[in-house]
Amino acid sequence: MNVRTHTYGSIAFVERNFALVKRYIGWEAVFLSYNVVNALAIGLIGATMGKEMVMYLVVGAMVWGFLSILFHEISESIAWERWEGTIEYTFMAPVSRFVHLIGNCMWAVVYGVIRSSLILVIVVLFFGISLSGANLPALLVILVVSGLSFVGLGLIAAVLPLLSTEKGAYATHIMEAGLLLISGVYYEIEVLPVWIRPLSYLSPATYTLRSMRAALLDGAGFGELMPVILLLLVAGVLLIPVGMLVFSRAEYYAKKKGKLKRSG
Amino acid sequence: MEAVKCEGLVKTFGKNGRKISAVNRISFTVSRKEIFGIVGPNGSGKSTLIRILSTLLIPDAGTARVFGYDVVREYGSVRRLINRVSVDAAFFKGISAWENLRYAARLYGLGKKDAKERSLDILGRLGFAEKRVYEPLEDLSRGMQQKVAIARAFFTAPMLLLLDEPTTGLDPRSKMDVQNYVRESMNNSSNDLTIILTTHDMKEAEVLCDRVAIIIDGRFVTLGSPSQLRAEYAKSALEDVFLDVTGREWKEIEDEC
């Protein structure tokens, strides 16, 4: 296997997903509209509580939008292949699982950044928000490093539809909902019941949201944010190989138990 | 070196608390440039065997080698040499035939231009109109989808092609197009191609295959060239051999009960 084969292999997944988005562009418009309206509605709820709360809640909606796109695109790419029955063809192709999954992750990041940026622009224009005091470079760095963790979590979640098409998809959504609850997306984690709070500290999204709010609302500098950035980086660097390992073990199990086939 | 060498292959699945033996101590070899047919009733183990050779299923016991590479331990090397057509023509149905083929081409390290030339050539020979390549797969008939699946498998120039009931459910014309293309490819001296073909169609097996194995309950019950099998069972057609062999097996099962 040479570099060309690896590159083509990764491009295959980006190109294929782009073709699918193009084909279902109507649904893309529907989901984007829904996400925009959702972010605006959440912002408006904040407006009833004071101007600061608008940004607080909008950051939650934005960050959650981005992270959930990453999580979904990676885990659902496997679910989609299971539904279509193409997973056997992808798995028997001469590309390593690393190239396969990295290709899907590359697409998820590009797609997530484009969609989240569109929503951000619309929200900023709608509320007339000024970002002059925000530390935008730090925002970008936090987004990238926290994206790594969610790629890792997405890889772990992708195991579920790999092993069971329908039940796996249910479980993926439950996992995502759990992250939404514990990560302080729309509230401080201190309002959670005491017994849930330890879980909040395990979620990378908790740190992403805190640091994003600090960079956007308080204009926190790199020095102040560095411990969290490093923490998120370490979490990502650990979670991606863990995700790959879990996925490869699940693939072995699926091949042993004959779970990849759709029919025949 | 043989193209395929299987020794004592076993694969068992658990279903509702009982064990089903899908492949039961199968051993066989396939020579390079041979078309090896596997025929058998539904659920006899044909597709399980194909999946093991495709590196998609890990056998419980025994070994399977493709051009000397073990399908479990050296699956990466095996994958570079094989491709497969299955009965269900699995694709991303919402996107076009070309977008599906381009995706497959990338996975096999083929450039876009090369992939387009090769796939259009194959599809043309299968009687597939070029303009329809750009239509969503879901708008194409089952026969046309299967022709795209044939193109997807052939355009990567595999050394071992696993054709798992490639003509099941096709109309007579499409079936003939596919069979002619397979024959043409084998007759092309520049191709280094070996085929394992599973089918329900005895005439197809008789016409295309150099040797045929009849599989029942995960075991090869007979194996030979179509003419050898006809002679051995004193039948004029392979279909009669199949009925004879499977009938005998059913009687044995009834006796055991």
> Which structure tokens are listed for B33?
């440039």
Question: What band does B79 get if pLDDT is binned at 50, 70 and 90?
Answer: very high
* Domain membership flag for residue B248: yes
Instruction: Kindly list the strands in the beta sheet with B82-85, ordered across the sheet, starting from the edge strand earlier in the chain.
Output: B82-85, B160-164, B194-199, B35-39, B211-216, B219-224
Q: What is the DSSP letter of A126?
A: H
- The alpha-carbon gap from A248 to the nearest alpha carbon of chain B, in Å, equals 13
Contact call for residues B99 and A16 (beta carbons, < 8 A): yes
β-partners of residue B220 are B215
B73 inside 8 A of chain A by CB: no
* Domain membership flag for residue B86: no
Whether A226 shows a pLDDT value over 70: the answer reads yes
- The alpha-carbon gap from B146 to the nearest alpha carbon of chain A, in Å, equals 14
Task: Render pLDDT for B38-48 as a digit per residue (tens, 0 to 9).
Answer: 999 888 999 99
B177 inside 8 A of chain A by CB: no
Q: What is the DSSP letter of B136?
A: B
Task: Render pLDDT for B182-221 as a digit per residue (tens, 0 to 9).
Answer: 999 998 878 899 999 999 888 999 999 999 999 999 999 9
Regarding whether B151 and B236 lie in a shared domain, the answer is no
- The alpha-carbon gap from A163 to the nearest alpha carbon of chain B, in Å, equals 14
Question: What band does A79 get if pLDDT is binned at 50, 70 and 90?
Answer: confident
> Which structure tokens are listed for B183?
């024959």
Regarding whether B150 and B96 lie in a shared domain, the answer is yes
Task: Render pLDDT for B129-182 as a digit per residue (tens, 0 to 9).
Answer: 899 999 999 999 988 999 999 999 999 999 999 999 999 888 888 899 999 999
Residue B257: its pLDDT value, please? 37
- The alpha-carbon gap from B81 to the nearest alpha carbon of chain A, in Å, equals 9
Chain B, 178-207: which have a CB under 8 Å from a chain A CB?
Answer: none
* Domain membership flag for residue B185: yes
What whole-number distance in Å separates Cα of residue A27 and Cα of residue A121?
A: 21
pTM for the whole structure: 0.87
Regarding whether B53 and B180 lie in a shared domain, the answer is yes
Contact call for residues B192 and B32 (beta carbons, < 8 A): yes
Residue A11: its pLDDT value, please? 87
Task: Render pLDDT for B80-96 as a digit per residue (tens, 0 to 9).
Answer: 999 999 988 899 999 99
* Domain membership flag for residue B82: no
If one counts the domains in chain B, the total is: 2
What whole-number distance in Å separates Cα of residue A68 and Cα of residue A209?
A: 13
A260 inside 8 A of chain B by CB: yes
Q: Which of B157, B175, B194 finishes a domain?
A: B157
A255 inside 8 A of chain B by CB: yes
Regarding whether B167 and B121 lie in a shared domain, the answer is no
Using CB atoms, pick whichever of B13, B93, B107 lies closest to residue A9: B107
Whether B252 shows a pLDDT value over 70: the answer reads no
Regarding whether B181 and B119 lie in a shared domain, the answer is no
Regarding whether B168 and B253 lie in a shared domain, the answer is yes
* Domain membership flag for residue B80: no
Residue B32: its pLDDT value, please? 95
What whole-number distance in Å separates Cα of residue B35 and Cα of residue B175?
A: 17
Q: Smallest Cα–Cα separation from A91: which of A2, A170, A158, A154?
A: A158
Question: What band does A263 get if pLDDT is binned at 50, 70 and 90?
Answer: low
A177 inside 8 A of chain B by CB: no
> Which structure tokens are listed for B147?
């022709």
Residue appearing with tokens 């099962």? B253
Q: Which of B99, B127, B157 finishes a domain?
A: B157
* Domain membership flag for residue B71: no
Q: Give the SS3 label for residue A264.
A: coil
A249 inside 8 A of chain B by CB: no
Regarding whether B138 and B163 lie in a shared domain, the answer is no
Residue-number span of the structural domain to which B148 is assigned: 91-157
Whether B251 shows a pLDDT value over 80: the answer reads no
Chain A residue closest in CA terms to B100: A16
Residues in contact with A211: Cβ distance below 8 Å, sequence separation at least 6, in sequence order: A138, A142, A220, A225, A228, A229, A232
Using CB atoms, pick whichever of A16, A85, A258 lies closest to residue B90: A85
**H helix intervals, B132-225:** 142-154, 172-187, 202-208
Regarding whether B137 and B165 lie in a shared domain, the answer is no
In CATH, what number is assigned to the domain containing residue B236? 3.40.50.300
β-partners of residue B35 are B195
Chain A, 13-52: which have a CB under 8 Å from a chain B CB?
Answer: 15-16, 19-20, 23-24
Whether B17 shows a pLDDT value over 90: the answer reads no
Q: What burial class does residue B244 get, using C-beta atoms within 10 Å of its C-beta: 0-12 exposed, 13-18 middle, 19+ buried?
A: middle
Task: Render pLDDT for B22-35 as a digit per residue (tens, 0 to 9).
Answer: 999 999 999 999 99
Using CB atoms, pick whichever of A16, A24, A92 lies closest to residue B79: A92
Contact call for residues A232 and A148 (beta carbons, < 8 A): yes
> Which structure tokens are listed for A42?
């959440």
Residue A262: its pLDDT value, please? 63
A174 inside 8 A of chain B by CB: no
Give CB contacts under 8 A, 24+ apart, made by B15-21.
B21/B217, B21/B218
Residue A254: its pLDDT value, please? 93
Q: What are phi and psi of A23, to 5 degrees?
A: -65, -40
Q: Which residues of A touch B55 (CB under 8 A)?
A: 91-92, 255
Residue B248: its pLDDT value, please? 53
> Which structure tokens are listed for A52?
């600061």
Amino acid at A35: N
Regarding whether B256 and B169 lie in a shared domain, the answer is yes
**H helix intervals, B10-141:** 46-53, 75-79, 97-107, 112-125
- The alpha-carbon gap from B57 to the nearest alpha carbon of chain A, in Å, equals 4
B56 with A24: Cβ contact below 8 A: no
Regarding whether B193 and B150 lie in a shared domain, the answer is no
Q: Which of B102, B130, B157 finishes a domain?
A: B157
A96 inside 8 A of chain B by CB: yes
Q: Which residue has the higher pLDDT, A163 or B70?
A: B70
Task: Render pLDDT for A99-136 as a digit per residue (tens, 0 to 9).
Answer: 888 888 888 888 988 888 888 889 889 988 887 888 88
Using CB atoms, pick whichever of B84, B91, B110 lies closest to residue A84: B91
Q: Which residue has the higher pLDDT, A238 or A70?
A: A238
Mean pLDDT score across all residues of chain A: 89
Regarding whether B212 and B165 lie in a shared domain, the answer is yes
* Domain membership flag for residue B72: no
Neighbours of A1 (CB within 10 A): 13
- The alpha-carbon gap from B99 to the nearest alpha carbon of chain A, in Å, equals 7
Regarding whether B168 and B231 lie in a shared domain, the answer is yes
B84 inside 8 A of chain A by CB: yes
Q: Which residue has the higher pLDDT, A98 or B64?
A: B64
To 10 degrees, what angle do helices A222-257 and A97-127 make? 140
* Domain membership flag for residue B49: yes
Cα distance between the two ends of chain B:
43
Using CB atoms, pick whichever of A11, A23, A262 lies closest to residue B106: A11
